[in-house]
A and B are shown apart, each in its own frame.
Chain A
């Protein structure tokens, strides 16, 4: 067993990373689903969507053949509606609240219908939004992820000239670099970005990193306002022996490489242990399996009841053949010749609920060893606190502190998304960008 790339044939890679939720094949297929929708009043699906997409309305618009109107309904609430249709954990949001669940029927496939309309909008390059003439105000957005793109679009529509500074060479943030490839492709992220930028008034400058070749002070000086949508960084350290052995990798970096360099070039172990049970842990585990790892085991210190990922996500991992060990906390990584050989875990038991309301796991003292040549860490990401050091921005536990108006402690610096909330869904970041844009427009006296 060893960590190596090129484990599979191109055909196998293609099959393993094919679209998890393929689009409807035809208009008739979409209509069959559309016609199941009850067109609820004050619909629960809309109420639980962080961006409040008017779901019954956009579904009805598909029914009447007004696809352009349907796409506008979606995108005017959520400019990344196409991406969200692919990556949103809808089972705990819109589809999870669909009233049909209460009749023990399958919920409406809202995400696939949303994809139907937004795919068409992107494919046909519809000009759904019109930009007001430039009013001579400039805003800098740091980070071309969901929050930044959403904010930039909202600002530019009102005639603001927006410059986005992005540290990577592509836009999309975690959509592009941090989510399973079978959910959303880099090509789609590019298309979506192009669609957003096609509004006009938005310039994206790549390879611009705060604290390196970009300074917040300069941005504050050169722009009327600044929006920080810088996301979160790498996985937090486990702080256990053996963490620096060859073969211990960060889930974000693992997914990043897979997305950036392609499937064949991404090395994966034969026996992979993934630590954590969030969405990123699942994405890392399933993709390790799909890259050709023989065995993949997810290790989580609590039980299924406390897991942060959804049932649907867990099901994907199980169907991919990933093993799951509940109540196991990493204690030490054992190496041989500087390379990972096994992962030693403490057996845990659940105690009383902690501040998150979930029962807290404690160490029983018993341990067991799991053979592994690769350990992927996915135990939550750490904020990019170092990027903001000496910037004067106030942080709480590394996260940017904002008020109700998305304003930081510095008057013309606004922030939203993962860098504020510590890492939530894409759809939350889109909403934060939207709200951030609104606050900036108010700050600049453009809207009431």
Chain B
């Protein structure tokens, strides 16, 4: 039985799974249900500036019969009275003393507002603060949210205001709506933030109603850019997380990973790339809080299988494997191999390779099943056939090195080896 407990800047939780700031964490009722279900912690939905919400608020992207591959919202920060939120936060902490309760904040853009909000929040006994520099809809039009996160100087200034008064750990949540998260992350670390979290949502339009021509979601026949999240954004989030983990200015502080996490596998991937814990929102919104049961169980079984006693045993383990393209070994070469016993004859590998790759699959017509074999001499080892093959382990990639030693792009050029020679 592995120890799943997590310690994030001294904020302790029985497992590393927190609910991210959002609709699931906007009041006591939900949070109590989440804690009863087993979630390790929550980041309470953002408190601060005064708002008024619209209806409707969400839209999503379906893919081949699966609902909500991607999710989009135009809801603003908490629209409940501040006093209610503060009172309920206090009550929740009292009822679940072993769980982490962090509160997300977004004050109006002046020092006094931030200071006042932090003071009020700390009075609840909350364990930490998360600064919302990421909301990409509505709030950003008022100079808050992602507008802050997109400007390193402003972000740093606000972090400095916060750090003047904060007595509990401060996490700064970053927006992905930038060419790189590193400049803002660096500025926030310089400003004194204790930790970072990412990603917030990505600006998006999920689709358009082909009858009314109005993009989704429609609010009285008009729409606006929303914030995109859910399984579809996970790869983007992982990349942004990695860019902070490999950077010596930003990897000094712990990171809370967010973006498309719905299973223990997703969570492990984020942690392997350097996240100390993770946060979930969309998956809970789709399936309810009960998904945490398998997240706990699956992580436990995986850790036992791998021999990891605590989460710190594997956090960041994949970071050393991330490098620049120019460091990749040019002598490494793989070719595809089709296991004829497993092949079902769907031809997906063939048509993908023939139409869009290197014409490296041979087709022998049969009735009704064709036979497909790899032309090894033409195969560049791109993986495409293996990726489209519907049968597990039918196509495998065999290592056929071009030369024995490691040689990267710089060395390759230095030696004047042939280019554009395929």
Query: Which residues of chain A have a CB within 8 Å of any CB of chain B?
Result: 31-32, 34-35, 38-45, 47-48, 63, 97, 99-100, 102-103
- Kindly list chain A residues whose C-beta atoms are within 8 Å of the C-beta of B346: 38, 40-41, 43, 99
Cα of A43 to Cα of B369 in the assembled complex, Å? 8
Contact A41 B369 (CB under 8 A): no
Given contacts A47-B367, A47-B368, A97-B368, contact A42 B65 (CB under 8 A): no
Contact with A along B6-40 (1 / 0, CB 8 A): 00000000000000000000000000000000000
- Which of B120-128, B248-256, B290-298, B347-355 has 4 or more CB atoms under 8 Å from chain A? B347-355
Given contacts A44-B345, A47-B367, contact A35 B64 (CB under 8 A): yes
**Mind listing 24 A-B residue pairs with CB under 8 Å?**
A32-B65, A35-B64, A35-B65, A38-B348, A38-B390, A40-B345, A40-B347, A40-B348, A41-B347, A41-B348, A41-B350, A42-B370, A43-B346, A43-B347, A44-B345, A45-B368, A47-B367, A47-B368, A48-B367, A97-B368, A99-B344, A99-B345, A99-B369, A102-B344
Cβ of B317 to closest chain A Cβ, rounded Å? 35
Nearest 7 CB-CB pairs, A to B?
A41-B347, A44-B368, A35-B65, A41-B351, A102-B344, A99-B344, A40-B346
Cβ of A355 to closest chain B Cβ, rounded Å? 23
Contact A103 B391 (CB under 8 A): yes
Which single member of A32, A41, A48 contacts B368 (CB below 8 Å)?
Answer: A48
Cα of A71 to Cα of B391 in the assembled complex, Å? 30
Contact B65 A102 (CB under 8 A): no
- Kindly list chain A residues whose C-beta atoms are within 8 Å of the C-beta of B390: 38, 103
- Kindly list chain A residues whose C-beta atoms are within 8 Å of the C-beta of B391: 103
Cα of A32 to Cα of B64 in the assembled complex, Å? 9
Cα of A63 to Cα of B391 in the assembled complex, Å? 22
Cα of A38 to Cα of B64 in the assembled complex, Å? 11
Cβ of A20 to closest chain B Cβ, rounded Å? 25
Cα of A160 to Cα of B391 in the assembled complex, Å? 50
Cβ of B373 to closest chain A Cβ, rounded Å? 15
Cα of A108 to Cα of B82 in the assembled complex, Å? 55
- Kindly list chain B residues whose C-beta atoms are within 8 Å of the C-beta of A102: 344-345
- Kindly list chain B residues whose C-beta atoms are within 8 Å of the C-beta of A97: 368-369
Cα of A38 to Cα of B345 in the assembled complex, Å? 11
- Kindly list chain B residues whose C-beta atoms are within 8 Å of the C-beta of A44: 345, 368-369
| Apart from A47-B368, A103-B344, 5 more pairs, CB < 8 Å | A40-B345, A42-B365, A44-B369, A102-B344, A102-B345
Which single member of A32, A41, A48, A100 contacts B344 (CB below 8 Å)?
Answer: A100
Which of A42, A47, A48, A63 has the most CB atoms of chain B within a 10 A radius of its CB? A42
Contact A31 B347 (CB under 8 A): no
Contact A39 B348 (CB under 8 A): yes
Cα of A151 to Cα of B17 in the assembled complex, Å? 67
Cα of A43 to Cα of B344 in the assembled complex, Å? 11
Cα of A48 to Cα of B369 in the assembled complex, Å? 10
Cβ of A360 to closest chain B Cβ, rounded Å? 28
Q: How large is the interface on B (under 10, 10 to 19, 20 to 34, 35 or more residues)?
A: 10 to 19
Cα of A45 to Cα of B368 in the assembled complex, Å? 8
Total residue contacts A-B, CB cutoff 8 A:
45
- Kindly list chain A residues whose C-beta atoms are within 8 Å of the C-beta of B367: 47-48
Cβ of A97 to closest chain B Cβ, rounded Å? 5
Cβ of B104 to closest chain A Cβ, rounded Å? 37
Query: Which residues of chain B have a CB within 8 Å of any CB of chain A?
Result: 64-65, 344-348, 350-351, 363, 365, 367-370, 390-391
Task: Look across to chain A and name the residue whose beta carbon is closest to the beta carbon of B363.
Answer: A42
- Kindly list chain A residues whose C-beta atoms are within 8 Å of the C-beta of B345: 40, 44, 99, 102
Cβ of B409 to closest chain A Cβ, rounded Å? 36
- Kindly list chain A residues whose C-beta atoms are within 8 Å of the C-beta of B64: 35, 63
Task: Look across to chain A and name the residue whose beta carbon is closest to the beta carbon of B370.
Answer: A42
Cβ of A408 to closest chain B Cβ, rounded Å? 29
- Kindly list chain B residues whose C-beta atoms are within 8 Å of the C-beta of A100: 344
Cβ of B121 to closest chain A Cβ, rounded Å? 45
- Kindly list chain B residues whose C-beta atoms are within 8 Å of the C-beta of A32: 65
- Kindly list chain A residues whose C-beta atoms are within 8 Å of the C-beta of B350: 41
Contact A42 B344 (CB under 8 A): no
Task: Look across to chain B and name the residue whose beta carbon is closest to the beta carbon of A96.
Answer: B368
Cβ of A113 to closest chain B Cβ, rounded Å? 14
Cα of A102 to Cα of B346 in the assembled complex, Å? 10
Which of B344, B345, B346, B367 has the most CB atoms of chain A within a 10 A radius of its CB? B346
- Kindly list chain B residues whose C-beta atoms are within 8 Å of the C-beta of A42: 347, 363, 365, 370
- Kindly list chain B residues whose C-beta atoms are within 8 Å of the C-beta of A47: 367-368
- Kindly list chain A residues whose C-beta atoms are within 8 Å of the C-beta of B370: 42
Cα of A41 to Cα of B390 in the assembled complex, Å? 13
Cβ of B253 to closest chain A Cβ, rounded Å? 43
Task: Look across to chain A and name the residue whose beta carbon is closest to the beta carbon of B394.
Answer: A103
Cβ of B355 to closest chain A Cβ, rounded Å? 9
Cα of A47 to Cα of B370 in the assembled complex, Å? 11
Contact B368 A34 (CB under 8 A): no
Which of B368, B370, B391 has the most CB atoms of chain A within a 10 A radius of its CB? B368
Cα of A43 to Cα of B351 in the assembled complex, Å? 11
- Kindly list chain B residues whose C-beta atoms are within 8 Å of the C-beta of A40: 345-348
Cα of A39 to Cα of B348 in the assembled complex, Å? 8
- Kindly list chain A residues whose C-beta atoms are within 8 Å of the C-beta of B363: 42
Cβ of B370 to closest chain A Cβ, rounded Å? 6
Cα of A47 to Cα of B345 in the assembled complex, Å? 13
Cβ of B5 to closest chain A Cβ, rounded Å? 40
Cβ of B367 to closest chain A Cβ, rounded Å? 6
- Kindly list chain A residues whose C-beta atoms are within 8 Å of the C-beta of B365: 42
Contact A31 B65 (CB under 8 A): yes
- Kindly list chain B residues whose C-beta atoms are within 8 Å of the C-beta of A34: 65
- Kindly list chain A residues whose C-beta atoms are within 8 Å of the C-beta of B368: 44-45, 47-48, 97
Cβ of B101 to closest chain A Cβ, rounded Å? 40
Cβ of B65 to closest chain A Cβ, rounded Å? 4
Cβ of A133 to closest chain B Cβ, rounded Å? 35
Cα of A45 to Cα of B390 in the assembled complex, Å? 17
- Kindly list chain A residues whose C-beta atoms are within 8 Å of the C-beta of B65: 31-32, 34-35
Cα of A443 to Cα of B187 in the assembled complex, Å? 82
Cα of A31 to Cα of B254 in the assembled complex, Å? 44
Task: Look across to chain B and name the residue whose beta carbon is closest to the beta carbon of A35.
Answer: B65
Task: Look across to chain A and name the residue whose beta carbon is closest to the beta carbon of B210.
Answer: A65
Which of A32, A40, A43, A45 has the most CB atoms of chain B within a 10 A radius of its CB? A40
Cα of A31 to Cα of B345 in the assembled complex, Å? 23
- Kindly list chain A residues whose C-beta atoms are within 8 Å of the C-beta of B351: 41
Task: Look across to chain B and name the residue whose beta carbon is closest to the beta carbon of A65.
Answer: B210
Cα of A45 to Cα of B350 in the assembled complex, Å? 17
Cβ of A89 to closest chain B Cβ, rounded Å? 16
Task: Look across to chain B and name the residue whose beta carbon is closest to the beta carbon of A40.
Answer: B346
Cα of A102 to Cα of B394 in the assembled complex, Å? 13
Cβ of B358 to closest chain A Cβ, rounded Å? 17
Cα of A42 to Cα of B346 in the assembled complex, Å? 8
Cα of A103 to Cα of B394 in the assembled complex, Å? 11
Cα of A48 to Cα of B367 in the assembled complex, Å? 8
Cα of A39 to Cα of B368 in the assembled complex, Å? 15
Task: Look across to chain A and name the residue whose beta carbon is closest to the beta carbon of B392.
Answer: A103
Cα of A97 to Cα of B366 in the assembled complex, Å? 12
- Kindly list chain B residues whose C-beta atoms are within 8 Å of the C-beta of A45: 368
- Kindly list chain B residues whose C-beta atoms are within 8 Å of the C-beta of A43: 346-347
Task: Look across to chain A and name the residue whose beta carbon is closest to the beta carbon of B64.
Answer: A35
Cα of A99 to Cα of B390 in the assembled complex, Å? 11
Cα of A39 to Cα of B346 in the assembled complex, Å? 8
Cα of A63 to Cα of B62 in the assembled complex, Å? 12
Cβ of B47 to closest chain A Cβ, rounded Å? 40
- Kindly list chain B residues whose C-beta atoms are within 8 Å of the C-beta of A35: 64-65
